[in-house]
Amino acid sequence: MFKRRTRKILDMATPPLMTTYTHHAHLLSILGVNENTEPWIFSSYIQIYADKDLINTSWADFYFPFPFQLRPAEVCPWIFTQKMGRDFFQDNWINFKEAICYFIDKNTYLHVMLDQYYIPNTPSFRKMHYLHDLLIFGYDKEKETFSVAEFDDNYKYSKFEVSFKNINDAFINYKECKNLDYLYGNILLYKLQPSCNYVFDFENVINSVKAYLNGETMEFWKLYSDKYSDHNKNMRIFGIKYYALLSDYVKNCAIEGKNVTQQLFYLLFDHKQLMTLRFKYLSEIGYNYDIIDDLLEIEKNSQIALNLVLKYNLTGNNEIINNIVECIDKIESNEYQVLSNFLQMYNSRGI
């Protein structure tokens, strides 16, 4: 006799390679279960960009060559991505719990914005109605829980269980939240492909490093940016220009008596960690440029900068600001030299 499945948990690689933002952490947790995805990962996550008005927006991220409102998973060849409007469930009275279980049974992860007020172990639980995205990757019908990945109440990217009821309440009370839904009313469904036709191309890395060092305005803003919209290229900086912007931002925070947004420095640290891992990977596949020790030093200094920011936010001691700025300048100078030397070695070798 056929026995109905009562439990299924999809694979997740944690901790992922970066955790500044959940959309990267979700994707890399999925990709991390298949080492064949490394060529795509290490060809990506090189360029960064930021809003020039950091003091008001506090926003920067990794750049991907895609139209503005797409997410990284939507251009990753290893992931089959579908979008479903959340109103599909609300307007048609489809049981959200059963829909989640159906997709999990199809080896599909769900990336969804929910009200953290109803999600235990999160910063806003029972405190405020606040939309944030989590990844649902499993269920247990006997325990009546879903397995999710999200920032916990210590702001650490974690895996934990949430009851069916809490997930449902967090879903149906979506409109109680006033902050931006950056998934634009969609639920994203991710399915890891067993194989894909992506072939590692070292030229991709070379071109991306060049664009990073030159602070080049990238495709979307160079070609399609609307000068009257908030996508205006004059409102964005790219690549190594991030450092000067970050220094000015930190100084302004001290002047205005504001905390420094930690994510801006977690992004910096994630970028340096991944750059080190990238060149270790390149060495493993035959592209040895002997700069890993230099990259590790840059990575260490980015960790120091992050720790100084955490200390400043805790103490409010403005003397720490000078140390942060000095650390940013040191990272910029060292990185420019190391990556410039790498490009020179590449040009001399031709490989």
Report pLDDT for 70.
56
Average pLDDT (257-264) is 96
Report pLDDT for 1.
42
Q: Which of 310, 241, 299 is nearest to 54 (CA)?
A: 241
Q: Read off the pTM.
A: 0.92
| DSSP assignment string, 105-140 | HTT-EEEEEEEGGGSTTSTTTTT---EEEEEEEEEE
Judge if the upstream peptide bond of residue 39 is cis by omega within 30 degrees of 0: no
For the beta carbon of residue 33, count every other beta carbon within 10 angstroms.
12
Average pLDDT (242-246) is 97
Q: Which of 9, 6, 10, 3 is nearest to 192 (CA)?
A: 10
Report pLDDT for 29.
97
Report pLDDT for 71.
64
Average pLDDT (298-310) is 98
Strands 48-51 and 236-238 turn out to be: antiparallel
Domain boundaries, the chain: 7-33+79-192, 202-349
Report pLDDT for 66.
59
pLDDT digits (tens, 9 = 90+) for 181-194: 989 999 999 999 99
Reply yes or no on whether the pLDDT at 93 is more than 60: no
Q: What confidence tier does 46 reach under pLDDT thresholds 50, 70, 90?
A: very high
Query: What single DSSP character describes residue 66?
Result: S
